[in-house]
Amino acid sequence: MSVAAREEFKQSPDGVVFRDLNGNGVMDPYEDPRRPVQERVEDLLGRLSLEEKAGLMFHTMASATESGSLDDDAPRAGRSSLAELVGDKLINHINVHFLPEPRLAAKWVNEVQRRAAGTPHGIPVTLSTDPRHSFAENWGASFTAIHFSAWPEPLGMAAIGDEELVREFTGIARKEYTAVGIRAALHPTIDLATEPRWARQYGTFGQDAGLVSRLALAYLDGFEGGALDAGSVACMAKHFPGGGPQLDGEDSHFPYGREQVYPGGMFDYHLEPFRRVISRGVSAIMPYYGMPMGLELDGEPVEEVGFGYNRQIIQGLLRDKLGYTGVVCTDWGLVTESRLHGRQLPPRAWGVEHLSVEDRVLKIIDAGCDQLGGEECADVVVDLVRQGRVSEKRIDESVRRLLSVKFQLGLFDDPYVDESMAAQRTGLPEFVDAGTRAQARSVTLLKNSAAYDGGAVSAPRPILPLRPGTRVFSQEVSAEALALAGLEHAVNAEGADVAIVRVNAPFDFRDQYMLESSFHAGSLEFDAGTIETVGRLAEAVPVVVVAHLDRPAVLTPLEPHCAAIAAVYGASDAAVLQALTGAVPPEGRLPFQLPRSEASVIASRSDVPGDLEDALYECGFGMEL
């Protein structure tokens, strides 16, 4: 039993420890840890009010407090406090954003669970998170690893292509999540990166459906295990039926990116990873925002509305045809507008913008979804039932699925975490070292041309690996990192043996809508200033360009100036230098094509993998040192 246990823990006459969640002094069937999950579900379902059932159908957002105390909760404008969400609206699925250091995070989680224990039947809170073990900070999709170990983005895992590494990562991530009470992962993202301009490729396993499927299964192995239990983290695979083929590469978070297209007729190809995880078993699936355009299934036109609203896709394809029986949770904010940091984002009600809030909720439920992500309007579901517009029997179908996961995770028996041990179970040196090594392994060497060892009479050699004592000029890599790698820091290019230039894949900065500034979209071409800087530097010293690829980039104008080019997918300076020196040999292979020109990107078909004509580097390319 957790050290955070409180008075709800009692002992039955025959010695069974249980949580008296409804406060009646008796171990009711749903409180009995010995009973089968479905028996407990049915017992609790029969006791719940309509308001409690409706609360289960919402999965909204909140941030922990810096102090770890609920008393300091200060929700952003237009959002309810945790006390209101859990205590009044009876919502008990929370997607947590900000987390303080682990001990205080655990303290906050325990206070949330104690608040939930005071509701009529004490339904525990399932705390979920977007990925938070890498480098991309995007409040709409992922968080940087701060208190947890840092690993390459999923694209980097794809570059390595090692299922055992994915199991190692997810096993460590599971330990770190559970240490602070996070029990659900709003990932993996198993979309296919077939549209080079799409902003969310960094969270995918690349363009190849076979590789994505293999790594997705390993991912679930590490987080969920063979079957959900008290040590598992429940996963939510996304974004059904594949969120990659967006028109012009724009993202469907935003009104200008709502269309999802299949000019190459590759809908089934994008569906393949979902077929695989459904066959294996996965706790939850999330449809994307996208609105399918011109799509037909079994000879019938598919309604051109967002996938979360689309009965042909959710009930017809996912449930009836593919046989999926788990939780379906919509992506965030399909019903009401969102506001954050002075920016607004309209409801992602693509194709049904004309519908009222009530009618949107009704259409989502009718489509076959169980939960509304990012919303907190549980009263709307209550009103729809009382008006006779949706049956309570239909609500019960969703509630059964949602309760089953909570029971399987053991949350009804003990949702608390050990505050005193949280810091000792996160960010451990062996976890950090494993993550750094994976970052280095994922580095993809694209070019390694000849350099000279002291004049024309010397034999040429490739410039990499960098030898101990090499004098390195870099404005991005610190002198401390160079020294730790056995290299010398040169204060200017003229006194250096080599220059290292770290660049990010290009994008067009946008900041009209909420979250838009975090989505790297638009052109893949480098600006003239970057090209000129690398060219001038190359006149003085051999240049090694290290390109961070959160999506493809047109490296063509940089390539002639570079003695070496390496691609990374989330890597610290230390990891990059381990790879460039060969301390950890880079073994990455490109998880997608790299275009030779922007024109080839525009000419390619969004749903077709490997559709770039005359690519500069092909998917799967990578050199050894």
Angle between helices 429-442 and 163-179 (to 10 degrees): 140
Of residues 370, 536, 562, 368, the one with CA closest to residue 451: 562
For strand 498-504 and strand 471-473, is the pairing parallel, antiparallel, or unpaired?
parallel
Residue (of 546, 551, 541, 591) closest to 573 by Cα position: 546
Rounded Cα distance, 424 and 101, in Å: 11
Residue type for position 25: G
For CA atoms 88, 91, 92, 96, give the dihedral sign.
Answer: negative
Nearest to 445 by CA among 461, 464, 471, 466: 464
Degrees to nearest 5, angle at CA 190 with 184 and 191: 130
Measured CA to CA, the distance from residue 377 to residue 579 in angstroms comes to 50
Single-letter amino acid, residue 303: E
Q: Distance (Å, rounded) from C-alpha 527 to C-alpha 577?
A: 26
Sole residue written with tokens 């355009």: 293
- Contact residues for 60 (Cβ-Cβ < 8 A; gap 6+): 85, 91, 93, 94, 95, 373, 374, 375, 376
Q: What is the Cα–Cα distance from 503 to 387, expressed in whole angstroms?
A: 57
SS (H, E, C) 479-512: HHHHHHCCCEECCCHHHCCEEEEEEECCCECCCC
HSE-up (13 A, CA, CB side) for residue 574: 12
Task: Round to whole Å and give the CA distance between 175 and 179.
Answer: 6
Q: How many residues comprise the chain?
A: 625
- What whole-number distance in Å separates Cα of residue 581 and Cα of residue 600? 34
Please list, residue by residue across 486-523, b when 16 or more beta carbons sit within 10 angstroms of its beta carbon and e when fewer do. Answer: ebebbeebeebbbbbbbbebbbeeeeebbbbebbbbbe
Task: Give the burial string for 104-120 (b: 16+ CB within 10 Å, else e).
Answer: bbbbbbbbbbbbbbebe
Residue of 449, 472, 515, 444 whose CA lies nearest to 206: 444
Q: What gap in Å lies between CA 199 and CA 136, rounded to an integer?
A: 12
Which two tokens mark 170? Answer: 């997810």
DSSP β-ladder status, 444-448 and 564-568: antiparallel
| Backbone angle region of 240, left / alpha / beta, with phi > 0 → left and psi within -120 to 50 → alpha | beta
Centre a 10 Å sphere on the Cβ of residue 312 and count the other Cβ atoms it contains: 21
Question: For 549, how many CA atoms within 13 A lie in the half-sphere containing its CB?
Answer: 36
β strands within 355-497, DSSP E: 372-373, 444-448, 450-451, 461-462, 471-473, 488-489
For residues 243 and 200, give the distance between their C-alpha atoms in angstroms, rounded to a whole number: 9
Give the Cα separation of 51 and 88 in Å (integer): 10
Would you please indicate which residues are annotated as catalytic (active-site) residues? 331
